[in-house]
Amino acid sequence: MGQRFVSIWFRYLSTDWFSLRQPELRKIPFVLRTPSHGRMVITSSNAMARAKGIDDGMVLADARAAVPSVIALDDKPELAQKLLTRLAEWCIRYAPVVAIDPPNGLLLDASGCSHLWGGDAAYLADIEKKLETRGYKVRTAMADTVGAAWAVARFGGKDNIIPPGKHKESILSLPSQALRLETESLERLHKLGLHQIYQFIGMPRTSLRRRFGPLLLLRIDQAMGMVKEMLKPVVPAEPYQERLPCMEPIVTATGIEIALKQLLETLCHRLRQEQKGLRTATFKGYRVDGKIVQMEIGTSRPTHHVNHLFKLFEVKISTLEPAMGIELFTLEAPKVEELLPEQEQLWEETGGLDDMRLSELVDKLAGKFGSAAVHRYLPDEHYWPERSFRSAISLQEKASTLWRVDKLRPLQLLNRPEKIEVSAPIPDYPPMLFRYKGKVHEVARADGPERIEQEWWLQQGQHRDYYRVEDKEGHRFWIFRSGHYDDESFQWYVHGFFA
């Protein structure tokens, strides 16, 4: 299947926007003006003003001499660019690649899209209808090349769908302006009596280059499809994306679930064929009112298991507000990793970090309570307890060193040691009692000290002497003294709790 492009021409882009905000302007001729070289120049005119002979680029004084009743409003800088960007983002519901075509157009790479609307004619009709409903008058065209679609949209007749392979014939009878040429080249063509494309397209290329420069040949080649024209999408399309347009807007949770499951099955089948699995996925709904609602999930390891991914999304479906209805669903996988066939055997394994059921449990907990609620830690090469571990990136990450098991360590370690008041009989003896958070704990049993120093290249404090103590109520603490007993700056801290 060859490429197909759509050109959308907003002939009255800026004036349509003003009319949407001031409906009374629709019934009168009005123009937008901007100062230029000491004069007011018309930058845009509405349909009624054009019907009276007023066109863009005219001096406002000349326009008023011809049509005294014309209303002039100040143009807004960069308005057209902002409008095109907003409209391009809205048009993503029709094609994954939508590019801005200044000053008043959009270009869509519609390859493989129109059949979802029932054919090319229904596809373009729906685009025109929806944009006109939003208040913009448009002309559209579809062809094999960007240049041909652009030309037919602006200068073609009623037949705005050019059959595959017929793009050359479609532009021969069009005026030379249809090739997107500079003003200087157009004036030179007109002086020579070359007003239509068929009059010069067959001339020797060397002669055309010598008289009109390289741009004319480039535009001809682009329109003919001999030079590929790349579009710069307003929103980069994800390589792994599936789309599902809806014939009728979806407003129920059941409809959303059906659409989600269908997209997951399609995307996961593709991932399975390419031996890949997704790590993150975004499910988007394009609403009738132009807004986009979405929800995201992440997985602890690459997967293309449809049921598992659906369950991760399922808990969030209630947050997706359809409002008046969703007319397009998309599923994107921005982060994809290799998933080799041998990894599939892990579904049959049990136990350990390689058990897929553990990965699914982690994904469900993270989806319900947030990714910050689930942690896995690995040992790190530091002496101080709060630095002796680090967060793992994934369940599969391997430790670079071993956990220290020769010394007993508390089950719960505080992020930061907390100060306590201690009464100790003599230096280097365990405390007799200590006060922690306002409560006095009388020590029944104790063991220590265990001295823990810092690395020599990280000297940021005094050494620590740790004790394991148990109070008379059976509670066990890990406490330490920072510094020597005879040092006036020494201080006691509690750092953890044993089971």
Domains assigned to the chain: 241-362 (3.30.1490.100), 412-497 (no CATH)
Q: Are 484 and 466 in contact (CB under 8 A)?
A: no
Q: Are 231 and 109 in contact (CB under 8 A)?
A: yes
pLDDT of residue 1: 56
Best-predicted range by mean pLDDT (121-130, 341-350, 353-362, 444-453): 121-130
Scan for tokens 């690459």, then name that residue: 302
Q: Are 394 and 300 in contact (CB under 8 A)?
A: yes
- Give the Cα separation of 421 and 415 in Å (integer): 19
Q: Are 182 and 189 in contact (CB under 8 A)?
A: no
Q: What is the mean pLDDT of residues 231-256?
A: 90
pLDDT of residue 252: 93
Q: What is the mean pLDDT of residues 144-160?
A: 93
Q: Is 483 left (phi over 0), alpha (psi -120 to 50) or beta?
A: left
Q: Identify the CA nearest to 315 among candidates 266, 369, 267.
A: 369
Q: Are 178 and 151 in contact (CB under 8 A)?
A: yes
Comparing 300 with 10, the larger pLDDT belongs to 10
pLDDT of residue 352: 59
Cβ-count burial of 108 within 10 angstroms (0-12 exposed, 13-18 middle, 19+ buried)?
Answer: buried
pLDDT of residue 488: 67
- All residues at 6 or more sequence positions from 487 whose CB lies less than 8 Å from its CB, including other chains: 462
Scan for tokens 């014309």, then name that residue: 70
Percent above pLDDT 70 for the chain:
93
Whether the predicted model's global pTM rises above the 0.85 cut: no
- Give the Cα separation of 325 and 342 in Å (integer): 43
Query: To the nearest 5 percent, what fractions of the chain are helix, strand and coil?
Result: 35, 30, 35
Confidence of residue 347 (pLDDT cuts 50, 70, 90): very low
pLDDT above 60 (res 26): yes
pLDDT of residue 448: 81
Q: What is the mean pLDDT of residues 18-32?
A: 93
Angle (nearest 5°) at CA 94 between 93 and 96: 80
pLDDT above 90 (res 280): yes
